[in-house]
Each structure stands twice: as C-alpha cells, then as structure tokens.
A = this chain, B = another copy of it.
C-alpha cells in the first residue's frame, strides 16, 4: 500500500511543466500543508515550481517558505524571473531576501528591476537588520502639506490602484524636503468638512522612530505607544518609511528562535533538514569540535588525579553525574539570565544583582542535590565517606555552577560576544574542571577512609 506523497505529485506536475496543474495543486493545499510540501521538494524542483507559477502566485509561495529556502530558490531562478517575483513582495521582504543572497546574485536580480526601484532596494538592504531601517517598509501614503481634505480624497481615488496592496491606516504629511510634519488618520479624514486644510486636521509632532533605532528600543516604543505603525525618519527628519508593529514583533520572534538555536549549538543560521547534508554537517561540527577540545581540557583534571581514581574506582561512576548535574544547574541560570536580558529586567552591568539572586539559590539547590547524591553513593557503594565526598563536591560545584551560569551571559554581552552561543560551552568547561577537581582532591584527602 504505497501511497503517493503530495510532494511527489507536485514534483511530477513540475517536471511535466504543467503550470495550470501545479497552480491548482498548490491552491488545493491547506495553508498548513503548503510549507511542509514545498520544503520536501528537491532544491531544483522548488525553483522550477516558482518559475512555473505566475509571479504573484510564486510570491505567495515564497512568503510561506522559511527564509533559507526562499533565498536559495531565488538563486536557482534566472535573475529576470527572480526580479518579477520579488516585485510582488513587500519592500522589507524584498530587502531581507536580497540581503541573504550572494552579492553577485543580488546585483544580477537588481539589474533586472527598474533602476529607481533597484536603487531604493539597495538602500533598504543596506540598513542593519533589527533596526528601524532594516524592518521598515516603504509602501506608504505621503501627502504634501497645503492640501485640503477633498484634494487628499481625490489623491486617494487617483492612486487607488497603487495603494491597493498597501495597508493604509495613516497618511503622512510631508514638507518640501520630504520632512515629516504630521500624521493624518483616515478616520479623521472621514469625519472632517471637505475644505479643511490638512494642517488643521493632522496630528502635529507625531511620534516617530529614528532610522537607526535598535530592536529593544523599538519594542519599548510600541509598548509605550499603542500604534500599529510609526513613521521612520532619518537624521534630518525626512520620512524614509513606515515601521509596523507586526514587523517588530516578527523580529523579536526571530531573535528568540536564534537565541534558542545558538544555545543548542546550531551555528551559521537556520538549519533545515532539506539543506545540503555537508553544509549541515560542517556547521554542526564547527561547534562540536570546539566543544570536544574544551572537554579534553576539562578531562585532563581527571588524568592529573589518576592515582586517586585508581585507589577508589567507585568515583569513576560519579564523575559523569557531577559533570552533567552541574551543567544542568548552570544552564538553568544561563536561561534565566538570557531571558531577563531580553525582557530588559537586567542589563549587562547588573553583575552584582544577578550574583546576589543566584548565590543563595545555588547553595540551597546544591545542598539538596548533594544530600541526594550523597545518600545514593553511600547506599549503593556502602561507604558513608564516599557519600560525603561525592555529595560535598556536588553541593559546592552546584553553587559555583549556578553563580557562573547566572553571570556568564552578562559578561559575554558586555564583551559584545554572543551570550547564547558561548555561555553553554564556557559554563560546562569551568564546572567540569571544578567538579572533577573537587571530587578527586576531596577523595585524596579522605583516601584512608575510602579504601
């Protein structure tokens, strides 16, 4: 009972260049299914599918794809096809996707666009990600100062086709240099007498964000002000684009996903199983090979105390337990610090406060876990002294691990290193070394009792 999988059906349609069939098939898919089916296609089939569909439909599909797939697919299309599809997407998505491409690929696609659009897109793509400039869209309604309500309404009527793809909520009133002078709400336009001048209807001194404002500043801006969007101004007050609240929230979500990925040792960006095997393997190994060196370094502590271990072989059972448990306790503290840094309840300089918050907790949990493992060791191996050594070492090492785990992300952040990526390996290396050292030197001290 071999069933034909939907991606196999779609592949067959694409390979027989059945444009209509492919389109109908895509339309028949549940939204939840689209991403899964498309991600299962072979890389070249995915690109062929896009060139088979109309640019509008292809743009729709691209928006469903993970970013990594989307930029890969664009690279596999001809620059002309890629340009036609890109033009159907919102400006910030265009800029993001181009930013993910190799420079030569991006330039080839830009060369296929209207020079003016290409220039605008180049500028957009140049703004750093996770700033107002990198997150804004340029699809917005600008009206020059001096118009009356009926003139603005006329303007809307005339531009209705251009604006049909926009999410229009405000019109931005600009002066001669393009500088923002006010914001016009559509509903106010609706309620005002037709001869009213825009200047008398608009909100003056509107809240705006600077083009280089960073993500956490933007998050707080939208917490402070209940807007759906805000105008983005350059350093001379000129209106450059509109930042939507949803754009900021999506960026926060992406950042969270990236933090998670990096703590788990996935480096170099999103990994999807449909990516080339060797790329995935190489990226994972990059992190693992650093880790193995750190591990060997930590384990050298054991080698230095080999004679103690030889005398009390039962200790060997407990070394991995101490290593793992200290790592877990420390990781919890790392997670809380990373989270508090994101929420803004602590900042990188708050070392003292974090240490105060962890030291007592570390002691309590250390004592509890130490007693637990101490009793296990005592009962299992029949030696109260072994229990004392193992339990004591875990208690001290847990306290250390919790304190170190709490402060490492702050120290890395202050040093402008990525706390999500580096906290884990640094933490476990230190706690392994301390843990092994504690167990083995305590055991050496009580050697007579342990034999």
Task: Enumerate chain A interface residues (CB-CB to B < 8 A).
Answer: 31-32, 34-36, 39-40, 60, 63-64, 66, 153, 156-157, 160, 163, 165, 167-169, 186-187, 189-191, 216-217, 220-221, 223-224, 226, 228, 245-246, 249-250, 252-253, 256-257, 259-261, 263-266, 270-274, 277-278, 280-281, 284-285, 287-289, 291-292, 295-296, 298-300, 302-303, 306, 309-310, 313-314, 316-321, 323-325, 327-329, 331-332, 334-336, 338-340, 342-347, 353-354, 357-358, 360-361, 364-365, 368-369, 372-373, 376, 380, 428, 432, 436
Contacts and interface: CB of A to CB of B under 8 A. Distances in A.
Nearest to A337: B273
B328 A265 contact: yes
Contact of A372 (B60, B265, B289, B347): B289
Contact of A280 (B250, B281, B361): B361
The 4 closest A-B pairs by CB, nearest first: A264-B335, A273-B357, A31-B220, A249-B249
A63 B221 CA distance: 12
Contacts of A306: 313-314, 316-317
B369 A332 contact: no
Contacts of A340: 272-273
A321 B335 contact: no
Given A273-B353, A284-B365, A321 B343 contact: no
Contacts of A376: 296
Nearest to A69: B345
Nearest to A38: B345
Counting chain B CB atoms within 10 Å of each CB, which of A40, A246, A325, A327 scores highest?
A246
A332 B284 contact: yes
Nearest to A350: B36
Contacts of A346: 36, 273
Contact of A291 (B60, B328, B432): B328
Given A223-B63, A256-B256, A288-B369, A281 B364 contact: yes
Nearest to A66: B343
A448 B282 CA distance: 37
A264 B262 CA distance: 13
A339 B165 CA distance: 31
A389 to B, nearest CB: 15
B157 A191 contact: yes
B167 A336 contact: no
Contact of A156 (B153, B187, B284): B187
24 contacts: A34-B220, A40-B353, A156-B187, A156-B190, A157-B191, A246-B249, A260-B263, A263-B263, A263-B264, A264-B334, A273-B336, A273-B345, A277-B361, A281-B364, A285-B369, A288-B325, A291-B325, A295-B320, A296-B321, A298-B320, A303-B380, A306-B314, A323-B323, A323-B324
Given A31-B223, A35-B220, A298-B320, 9 more contacts: A64-B220, A189-B190, A253-B253, A277-B364, A281-B361, A284-B361, A285-B365, A296-B373, A296-B376
A345 B274 contact: yes
Contacts of A228: 167, 169, 228, 246
Contacts of A160: 191
A42 to B, nearest CB: 13
Contacts of A299: 317-318, 320-321
A152 B56 CA distance: 35
Contact of A168 (B163, B187, B296, B365): B187
Contacts of A302: 316-317, 320
Contact of A289 (B252, B277, B369): B369
A368 B327 CA distance: 25
A182 to B, nearest CB: 18
